[in-house]
């Protein structure tokens, strides 16, 4: 009878071990899948998700705290703003030109271009208002337009300046 008990216990132990191994494998697989899903969700939220703002107030609120958000604005020019978060103690905002206006006349080369602006913490306003904090092709386009307008103003007013100097 003792031999039967030992044999029975051995088979029972083998079956229990087998069930435990299957349970352990399932648990490892399920836990691995949950970890992967968490990491994918965290990665998406960290690197790809932008809160879409519909109003200027919403955009400025996110800009003030440097939280990730996007905003589109149409005036003479159409811009898309993407607040990317902090880098080197500054708030990084990508400014994309969506469309140009006839009045502003950016060159064809600069249409649909962009720039990156690094703003101080808590800045409240549109990034393109201070081009000294920005870099990129769009900034160069703005500077080119401003210089051309300044040249035009100087040329148009040279005669007037000469008359003023002669009258002194």
The tens digit of pLDDT for each residue in 86-104 reads 888 899 999 988 877 666 6
Question: Using CA atoms, how far apart are residues 115 and 108, in angstroms rounded to an integer?
Answer: 16
Question: Using CA atoms, how far apart are residues 137 and 14, in angstroms rounded to an integer?
Answer: 71
Question: Using CA atoms, how far apart are residues 67 and 114, in angstroms rounded to an integer?
Answer: 20
**Selection from 86, 105, 88, 87 nearest residue 97 by Cα:** 105
Q: Which pLDDT score is estimated for 86?
A: 85
3-class DSSP state of 72: strand
Q: Which two tokens stand for residue 101?
A: 């206006």
Tell me the chain's radius of gyration from C-alpha atoms: 32
The tens digit of pLDDT for each residue in 135-166 reads 998 888 888 878 887 888 777 777 666 666 66
Q: Which pLDDT score is estimated for 1?
A: 46
Q: Which pLDDT score is estimated for 124?
A: 78
Place of tokens 């300046």: 161
Q: Name the more confident of 2 and 35.
A: 35
Tell me which of 8-12, 65-69, 93-97, 123-127 is least confident. Answer: 8-12
Question: Using CA atoms, how far apart are residues 153 and 168, in angstroms rounded to an integer?
Answer: 22
């Amino acid at each position: 009878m003792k031999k039967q008990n030992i044999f029975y216990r051995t088979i029972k132990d083998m079956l229990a071990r087998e069930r435990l191994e299957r349970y352990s494998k399932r648990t490892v697989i399920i836990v691995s899948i949950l970890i992967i899903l968490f990491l994918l969700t965290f990665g998406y939220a960290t690197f790809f998700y932008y809160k879409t703002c519909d109003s200027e107030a919403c955009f400025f609120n996110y800009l003030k705290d440097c939280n990730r958000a996007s905003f589109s604005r149409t005036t003479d020019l159409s811009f898309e703003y993407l607040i990317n978060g902090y880098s080197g103690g500054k708030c990084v905002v990508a400014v994309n030109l969506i469309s140009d206006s006839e009045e502003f006349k950016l060159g064809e080369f600069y249409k649909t271009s962009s720039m990156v602006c690094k703003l101080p913490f808590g800045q409240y306003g549109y990034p393109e208002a201070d081009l000294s904090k920005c870099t990129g092709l769009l900034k160069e386009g703005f500077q080119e337009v401003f210089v051309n307008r300044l040249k035009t103003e100087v040329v148009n007013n040279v005669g007037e300046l000469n008359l003023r100097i002669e009258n002194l």
